[in-house]
Structure 1
């Protein structure tokens, strides 16, 4: 390590660290979204074109690739201008190193679980989305801005059938209700339970597009479901919902580089155990 430091110098190492951090944060922002799929598709296409242009005497393709490299920044800005605009507009509002105290505090999770249980008991449908690493500004912007403190009473009032925004989703950002009445992308999976309505399909869709947690309350069956990464945990009670939310949010700390406690079971193992018990499908 000292030999590497002597060769590069401290400014070069700082430069590399900054670039690595920027790339990491960008990948974290687009992880699980369609932008990530576009990036992978572009990289695969460019890599394949570059390879065959070097191996075979394809003069025109090689010339085209040389011109492409000089314009790659402009191409990226054009393709991802909407995502870049949203990220820049949120830079001052979202911390670079987000903490979990707001989103995973005991009071917040209790209020969410109590609200979901109360709505299910009254057969009132609901859809609550909790932002994690991937920013949900594109969905917040088309909803009704609230920026209010999370409480059971506020959540129940939003989803009451007499509320004009009860059909949309509530999005939670940094421990606060950012917006309500938000419209989410529907899942495109064909093997989704045919009994799922638009609310549950939207919950699955947002969990596939992003790393957000989605809670869906069925007004027909009075059941509570949690969607994470396109997977569905069904027939949850308030206690089970709160436990899964806490474990899901705690995985962010582990993914950020902190070593998980050896006494804790990884979250996915707990979910698999829950699914094997027949509590979810």
Structure 2
């Protein structure tokens, strides 16, 4: 026993710690998502397979055994959304030398004021602020503009008479990169239950990417900020400015450290 412990080297310890970290990171990453229930379902099948093997249940053992043999393919199919999001998160690490699209305080102030002016006029809107992860895939499906952001332009885009009012606006490097961007709507989950279509779409893109989505509700005039699977309601212009400033200030600090 003592000899076995002594034979454990630094590489072995690092190997164990790395595996433990990966398991912890995966569990932390899927916490609160539908992937947790699916994972419990797979674990239950594994337990049942072991029990059926011990009990000699040939048919059930054959059925579950064939399913588990293709477990890797099943995991990719079932968790394709989570895997894509996880790989994208890994790609954001500063180890890969990326720098975010950090907006300046003046632009944050303009966006905050614009959101509440739109809210006062009951004009629904999604202002999607690009950060480290590019949103070119979404931009390609919208109307490219490359125009300096302003409240007047935002009102003309989101006015009900505008042909692109239903989509989102993507803001990149303080400019409107595209308008009328149709965002994919994620399946209903605990977090999105009770949300409208606009808010669900914003939650989905803020979960799949590191973008920040500012949503103005057409029905209530509420302003909500979505980022990294979280939603924060802003009651005033100053509060919205503070929320955006905090999110982008964190990115600036991470970029400087990288």
Partner of 1:42 in structure 2?
Answer: 38
Partner of 2:92 in structure 1?
Answer: 95
Answering whether residue 185 of structure 2 is matched by residue 185 of structure 1, we say yes
Answering whether residue 50 of structure 2 is matched by residue 54 of structure 1, we say yes
Q: Confirm or deny: 8 A CA contact 2:183 2:202 kept in the other structure.
A: no
3-state secondary structure, aligned to 1:7: coil
Alignment counterpart, residue 202 of structure 1, candidates 197, 200, 207: 197
Distance 1:213 1:53, change over 3 A: same
Q: Equivalent residues in 2 for 1:106-255 (5 A)?
A: 106-130=105-129, 140=138, 143-144=141-142, 146=144, 148=146, 151-152=149-150, 155-172=154-171, 179-181=178-180, 182-185=182-185, 192=194, 201-206=196-201, 209=204, 210-211=206-207, 213-218=212-217, 223-228=221-226, 233=233, 236-247=235-246
Partner of 1:13 in structure 2?
Answer: 14
3-state secondary structure, aligned to 2:92: coil
| TM-score for both structures, normalised by structure 1 | 0.56
| TM-score for both structures, normalised by structure 2 | 0.60
Q: Confirm or deny: 8 A CA contact 1:213 1:227 kept in the other structure.
A: yes
Aligned-residue CA RMSD in angstroms? 5.2
Deviation at 1:120, TM superposition (A): 3.7
- Unaligned 5+ runs, structure 1: 193-199, 259-281
Structure number, greater radius of gyration: 2
Deviation at 1:144, TM superposition (A): 0.3
